[in-house]
Structure 1
Amino acid sequence: MSSHGEEIEEEEQISRTEKGIGSRTEKGTGKNCHGGIETVICTSPSIVCLTQKLIAEMIGTYFVVFSGCGVVVVNVLYGGTVTFPGVCVTWGLIVMVMIYSTGHISGAHFNPAVTFTFAIFRRFPWYQVPLYIGAQLAGSLLGSLTLRLMFKVTPQAYFGTTPADSAVRALVAEIIISFLLMFVISGVSTDSRAVGELAGIAVGMTIMLNVFVAG
């Protein structure tokens, strides 16, 4: 009688152990999500699957383009009502807001250069790079399409940017501000000594400064 009870208790303990291992694996790595496939949305709230990351990346990029380019459109169509400082602040704010909104889901890259940099420094898996870039392109195209539908754009209207000086100087300026941006992003995102909660502010303010200096 005692032996049979011990066997039942041992089986229950093994069952609990197996469930605990499965739970830890799922929460810790996410690799067991739906049989090891990360391309579907997981039901567990503790797991962020690849599809969720791509959706967050697309939405974040959409609003960065919608707000950043949208403020330029408004400034051009309505006679400079926003002003150049307003354009700079808008770019910095929208990047900061989207980092805090989606950073915990997708990492808030919003830029193929950021995705490539993280992959090069082994902070991001290479197999996800083309997927992230695809999500970023989709978000930016949808943002541009939304602006196209919202505002009356005539053939004479041009909302792009052209170098104010020579192409060489513009290229040098672009290299400098791109290096500054990647330097800040790498510093606040890859070093464990950095204050992670301030990453959004640091990156957003860097974008604003870059637009002020060379935008």
Structure 2
Amino acid sequence: MTDASSIDDTPTTGQKFAAEVLGTFVLVFFGVGAALMSGGDYITTGLTFGLTVVVMAYAVGRISGGHFNPAVTLGAVLGGRLPWSSVPVYVGAQLVGGLIAGALLFGLMHGFEGYTSEGNIGANAFGDQSASNYAMWAAFALEALLTMVFLYVILAVTDERNELQALMGPLAIGLALSMIHFASMGATGTSVNPARSIGVGVFGGTDAIIQLWLFILAPLVGAAIAGLTYPLVFGHGSEPVSGSGLSFGGGRGQQATYAPPAGYEQQWNQGQPPQQWQAPAAPPQQQGWGQQTPAQQWAQPPAQPPTQAAPPAQTAPQHWGQPAGQPPAQEWGQPIEDDGEDGRTQVRRPD
């Protein structure tokens, strides 16, 4: 039977990729789907986007951290929570999930007679493409600002110093996303997520594709500001992850002071504890009688010297002058046998 403690519960890269694909797909499909099916109802759409984050963060957040958003990934990297080497996996998975959701929405919406996707796929927009003719500069500023606030919330509730992070973190993040939608849907349709914008925007026609740059760049700018300034304002809850922040080759504050021993990561991923350091045993000629080597545990009996013969077993103490091999002298008060003529047992007094 396999020992439960030996099971490796460290998520693999493939599992993280799958978790981000699934989470981003659910976010885009249900969030944008609710907007399409409800005719853009504020309450329905805003709450649905928030609920998707809550549900999927609780479901797969333990695997990948539950980003579902390239802006969140960028903020996490610049905030010292994730190494740069993980960015291609996370962002690639998020784009795949968003595009799958957009493609399915595009196909399913054609079930309505006379449906056309151009201007009716839930794409983000500004200027004359938006319902309110919202100015480009204002759209950029709004998306960057809301993403910055969103990242501040995420970094704060996932801070190790926050005792309620595991229980209340996903709920706070989901409510923050709903709050953001309530404040911006009438202007840009609310992005704060390049994967959400790309996922449906590529199916919204030429005008929607042309405007995608703003809904990619503005959220990334807001996330970068939050990721860089959160540690400066509130400090790090723990040491930055190696290879994160502005250091592309190693972790801030720990690269120069800590380097894991060879094979440490492999042992960790296999669920085995790292080997404890042991000092090399001293050469035999330098060890004295009864001296323990550093690897010996406390209270362990010392090793016998290799050249020392084991002392002979003593049967009883011999008296001075008594020939070797003779029966041992009897102690005082013990009866001795006497072969005398009277055959009586005698008691020998002490010498």
Q: Name the TM-score, length of structure 2 as normaliser.
A: 0.46
For residues 20-56 of structure 1, the C-alpha deviation after alignment (integer angstroms, 9 at most, x for no partner) is: xxx99xx7xxxxxxxxxxxxxxxx4522111111101
Q: CA deviation at 1:157?
A: 4.8
Q: Kindly tell me: are residues 184 and 194 of structure 1, through their superposed partners in 2, closer, same or farther at Cα, counting changes over 3 Å?
A: farther
2:168 corresponding residue in structure 1:
198
2:120 corresponding residue in structure 1:
158
What is the identity, as a one-letter code, of the residue corresponding to 1:206? A
Q: CA deviation at 1:190?
A: 2.6
Query: 1:207 aligned to 2:150?
Result: no
For residues 157 and 134 of structure 1, the distance between their equivalents in structure 2, rounded to whole angstroms, comes to 26
- Pick from 182, 185, 200 the counterpart of residue 151 of structure 2: 182
The 4+ residue runs of structure 1 with deviation greater than 3 A are none
Paired residues for 1:91-102 under 5 Å: 91-102=49-60
Q: Name the TM-score, length of structure 1 as normaliser.
A: 0.73
| Contact 2:21–2:96 under 8 Å retained in 1 | yes
| Contact 1:96–1:200 under 8 Å retained in 2 | yes
For structure 2, the 5+ residue unaligned runs are 127-131, 186-351
| Contact 1:123–1:190 under 8 Å retained in 2 | no
Paired residues for 1:63-212 under 5 Å: 63-76=26-39, 83-152=41-110, 153-154=115-116, 157-159=119-121, 160-163=123-126, 164=132, 165-196=134-165, 197-212=167-182
For residues 46-73 of structure 1, the C-alpha deviation after alignment (integer angstroms, 9 at most, x for no partner) is: 2211111110111011110100111122
Greater helix proportion: 1
Q: Kindly tell me: are residues 154 and 199 of structure 1, through their superposed partners in 2, closer, same or farther at Cα, counting changes over 3 Å?
A: same
Q: Kindly tell me: are residues 155 and 213 of structure 1, through their superposed partners in 2, closer, same or farther at Cα, counting changes over 3 Å?
A: closer
The DSSP-based 3-state class of the residue aligned with 2:158 is helix
**Aligned length, in residue pairs:** 171
| Contact 2:38–2:44 under 8 Å retained in 1 | no
| Contact 2:35–2:44 under 8 Å retained in 1 | no
Provide the identity percentage: 30
RMSD of the TM alignment (CA)? 2.1
Q: CA deviation at 1:107?
A: 0.3
What is the identity, as a one-letter code, of the residue corresponding to 1:64? L
